[in-house]
Amino acid sequence: MTERPQVPPALVDRLRRLCLVLPEVREEEAWIGTRWRVRSKTFAHVNMVADGWPPVYARVIGVAADDEPVVVLTFRSAGDELQALANLGRPYFRAPWAPGAAGLLLDHDTDWDEVAELVTESYCLQAPQKLAARVDRPGG
């Protein structure tokens, strides 16, 4: 079996710096890629979609087996923001496998200030209220 492409370490490091500053976060290897959790809830997950695998991601973001690999960040969102992300289209997408799940394709044009806001908001949605209250949210 051919080894699947991995998320570039520099991208994982950049996400790590955003996630591990939040209270009680731990990083784990996920079934694919890397995830960050608060208690038992995942609030950010990064993985590579390549060669049509994993199929659920490939279908949702429209990546064919012969397309270039893409890096995908999934996170949680709610309300108007979730609706807006779902309507924006690429590089954003609505992930149908869980309520409130959304995603972003990461590339050289990624707005990392936006990623910081999305990851922080996702954390606050998944964390117990006591932990979320300790977080300074980017962008107000």
Where do the domains of the chain lie, and which CATH numbers do they carry? 9-132 (3.90.1150.30)
Q: Annotate 69-112 with three-state secondary structure.
A: CEEEEEEECCHHHHHHHHHHCCCEEECCCCCCEEEEEECCCCCH
Type of residue at 58: A
Type of residue at 130: K
For 19, 66, 68, 131, the CA distances from 24, given in Å and listed in that order, are 10, 40, 36, 8
Give 134's pLDDT tier (boundaries 50, 70, 90). very high
pLDDT tens, position by position, 47-59: 999 988 999 999 9
pLDDT tens, position by position, 56-82: 999 999 887 788 899 999 999 999 999
Give 138's pLDDT tier (boundaries 50, 70, 90). low
Nearest-angstrom CA–CA distance, 75 and 95: 9
The pTM (predicted TM-score) of the whole model is 0.92
